[in-house]
Amino acid sequence: MRIKRVFFLLLLVVPLTWPVQAWGQPGVTADAATLMDADSGVFYYRKNAVERRALASLTKVMTCILALELADPGE
């Protein structure tokens, strides 16, 4: 019975000795990025926001959104 108590106590105490790690802010690896609240118009994050870029990826995203909006829910 004493062995069980010691084992249980070790199971409780050992994890408390492990160091706690905090996560930093996520890094953005894209060349440009923007995070905006569409309702209020507030920009929360901008990276190279004023630099002109090709709209190829945005066009793909908008096509996908339109396809999902126009599709039947059963599809």
User: pLDDT tens digits for 9-30?
Assistant: 888 888 877 777 777 776 888 8
35: phi then psi, degrees, rounded to nearest 5: -125, 115
Show the DSSP H helices in the chain as ranges.
2-13, 56-70
- pLDDT score, position 4: 87
Decide if 23 is inside a domain: no
Q: Quote the tokens at residue 33.
A: 């990025």
Decide if 6 is inside a domain: no
> Measuring CA to CA, which residue among 26, 23, 44, 48 is closest to residue 35?
44
Domain coverage including residue 52:
30-75
Decide if 3 is inside a domain: no
Decide if 9 is inside a domain: no
Statement: the pTM of the whole predicted model exceeds 0.75: no
- pLDDT score, position 75: 65
Decide if 69 is inside a domain: yes
% pLDDT > 90, the chain: 12
* Residues 42-53: tens digit of each pLDDT: 999 899 888 887
Looking at the structure of the chain, the number of domains it has is: 1
